[in-house]
Amino acid sequence: MNSNVNRIELSGIRKFSNKVAKVPGAISLTLGQPDFPVPKRVKEAMIEALEQGKTVYTSNAGLVELREEISKYLESFGISYDKEEICITVGGSEALFTVFTTLIDRGEKVLIPTPAYPAYENGVKLVGGEVVNYKLNEDFSLNISYLEEAILKSGAKYLLLSFPTNPTGAILEKTQLNALKDLILRYDLMVITDEIYSALCYDEYHSIAQLQELKDRVIFIGGFSKIFSMTGLRLGYFCVNKKLMDDFMKVHQYNVSCATSISQYGAYVGLRECLRDVEYMKSEFLRRRDYVYGRLKAMNFEVNLPKGAFYIFPSIKKFNMTSEEFCELLLEKKKVACVPGSAFGAGGEGFMRISYCYSDKELERALDLIEEFIKEI
Ligand code: PMP
């Protein structure tokens, strides 16, 4: 067995959602799967592609017309990558692994925020890298001083950013952008920015990938799972400066050859014709965010207003239980499942993650039950 495999664990999110499956009648707010169907035109395009026999390999980097559409789409966020700088992957997950495998040598250190999406720490460890956690502000926004401290202490050369953030809903604030840029240049960092939720930003959007002067040192990761509600169709991408693409392509090519052809045809039409559906989903998530936030506040949870994605991360510290104990008990007593914050690393202990990409009815019922639960404990 590869010794790196022993350094990592099965995902705490999945572990918990699997437990829920065994509790009949439980309401699960554990997964990041939007409750909307795939936009109609995306579905039609995939059916058409299938009927036309477009079931063969695409080029390794993915359909050129899709890469051109991604390039235009990113331009609307102020991010410039041309089609040669984009590689279509099997979900954002493959993009993360291809990037980690290409960049990180055994023993090299990677700065990862805590709490964070668990694939970062585990992916880095799997390729033999070392994780250096950096702390965030109390509202989970980036704290430049904490980050600098972690750089100085560790000498790490890779920085992972993730905005809007799973599990906290934090975004990159305009005021942090320049200081972050200075830090990246001063310490000669290579940056991986996972922005799979960039379409779901409820406040002004800012990204380190918007800064042209950092183009050589930023790798951007995006995906279609969330924007087109197509998690099972497994489509994502990464963008990297042309000069570096060949090296990344080696890893991607030998790993998956190419992403699924049918999904690529769907996403192509999605970017051309379905951005209004995305706007609709976003407005729905925003409404649900306000509802869930309002309910949690009314229950006196300490909680930050998420500014992106579809997760909220209230503190459960005052209940004097670990996050795992709290979520286990909530599931046992009220049949409501939320993910223990500890599934997102050391910085997540004392919190739980609620996904609010579920129906109004489920959210309302689950929050009623959470309200009953905290009165009882
Ligand atoms: N990054 C983040 C922050 C995520 O939350 C997820 C999925 N939950 C992914 C990447 C991977 O998504 P996918 O492989 O479905 O594109």
Rounded distance, CA 13 to CA 86, Å? 29
C-alpha span between 304 and 140 (Å, rounded)? 9
pLDDT band at 11 (very low <50, low <70, confident <90, very high): confident
Q: Average model confidence (pLDDT) for the chain?
A: 97
Banded model confidence at residue 16, pLDDT cuts 50, 70, 90: confident
CA-nearest of 322, 369, 354 to 28 is 354
At 145, the amino acid letter reads S
Q: Cα dihedral angle (252, 42, 17, 126), rounded to 10 degrees?
A: 10
Cβ partners under 8 Å of residue 58, min gap 6: 88, 258, 259, 261, 264
| CATH 3.90.1150.10 residue window(s) in the chain | 5-37+276-376
User: If pLDDT is split at 50, 70 and 90, which confidence band does 68 have?
Assistant: very high
Fold of 41-273: Aspartate Aminotransferase; domain 2 (3.40.640)
Please report the atom of ligand 1 found closest to the CA of residue 92.
16
This prediction has a pTM of 0.97
Instruction: Say whether pLDDT at 371 is over 90.
Output: yes
Query: Is a pLDDT exceeding 90 seen at residue 50?
Result: yes
**pLDDT single digits (tens) 180-239:** 999 999 999 999 999 999 999 999 999 999 999 999 999 999 999 999 999 999 999 999
Q: What's the token pair of residue 88?
A: 């279509």
Query: CA angle, corner 33, sides to 347 and 368, nearest 5?
Result: 75
The two structure tokens encoding residue 296: 């949690």
Q: Does ligand 1 lie within 6 Å of residue 166's CB atom?
A: yes
pLDDT of residue 122: 96
Sorted by sequence, the CB contacts under 8 Å of residue 367 that are 6+ apart come out as 292, 295, 296
pLDDT for the residue numbered 21:
84
Rounded (10°) angle between helices 261-273 and 40-51: 140
For residue 161, what pLDDT band results from cuts at 50, 70 and 90? Answer: very high
Return the ligand 1 atom nearest residue 231 CA. Answer: 15
Best residue among 14, 17, 30, 93 to mutate for probing ligand 1's pocket (most ligand atoms within 8 Å of CB) is: 93
Say which residue the tokens 């979520």 belong to.
327
Residue 293 carries which side chain, given as an amino acid letter?
Answer: Y
Give the pLDDT of residue 15: 81
CB contact at 8 A, 351 and 115: yes
Question: Contact, 87 vs 238, CB < 8 A?
Answer: yes
Q: Probe ligand 1: pick from 162, 166, 219, 228, max atoms within 8 Å of CB?
A: 166
Q: Is the dihedral of CA 250, 90, 46, 42 positive or negative?
A: negative
CB 314 within 8 A of CB 84: no
Question: Given this model, what pLDDT does residue 304 score?
Answer: 98
Check pLDDT > 90 for residue 125: yes
The model's confidence at residue 18, banded by pLDDT at 50, 70 and 90, is confident
Find out whether the peptide bond into 24 is cis, omega within 30 degrees of 0. Answer: no
Can you give the pLDDT at residue 143?
Answer: 97
Given a contact cutoff of 8 angstroms between Cβ atoms, the answer to whether 331 and 337 are in contact is: yes
Above 90 in pLDDT, residue 64?
yes
pLDDT given at position 267: 98
CATH topology of domain 5-37+276-376: Aspartate Aminotransferase, domain 1 (3.90.1150)
Residue identifier of the C-alpha nearest atom 12 of ligand 1: 92
The reply to whether ligand 1 has any atom less than 6 angstroms from the CB of 30 is no
- pLDDT for 13 equals 82
